[in-house]
Amino acid sequence: MKIRMLILALLCSMIFLNDQPAMAESPMYTMADILMHLNHSPGDAEKKKLQQIINDSATPEEERVLATVILNMEHKVGADDKNKLRRIIDDASASANVREMAKILLNLNHKPTPDDKNKLQQLMR
């Protein structure tokens, strides 16, 4: 009888745990993940995620700018977007993670370097 109750309790807890929605990834995590797998430009699924970040008013402005820059990328960042990245890099009030991602984007050419991938992995923690 005790074993049946234990099994029933375990099954109920498994159903409860599996029924919970997954915790949403942070915008920085999502962008770092997209850049980790980037090959020339974001794909359609990645563009959709970036647009969600841009449209979310709860996302800090600097992160929305980063998402816009990634969304606009084709092989590398355009001249107008490079100016936006430089402003973020020079902004002492921007977080270190945001400035680091801006630096990675500023120098990106088709895909991140191995060193940049290490930095992106750090941003995903």
Give the phi and the psi of residue 111 in degrees, each rounded to 5. Answer: -160, 160
- Contact (Cβ atoms closer than 8 angstroms) between residue 100 and residue 12: no
pLDDT at res. 44: 95
Token pair for 95: 């977080």
* Digit-coded pLDDT (tens) for 2-28: 666 556 555 545 544 444 334 468 999
Helix pair angle (61-72, 96-107), 10° resolution: 20
pLDDT at res. 54: 97
pLDDT at res. 17: 46
Nearest-CA neighbor of 77 among 44, 41, 32, 28? 41
Instruction: Flag whether pLDDT at 42 surpasses 50.
Output: yes
Torsion angle, CA of 118/122/124/125, rounded to 10 degrees?
140
Q: What is the DSSP letter of 74?
A: B
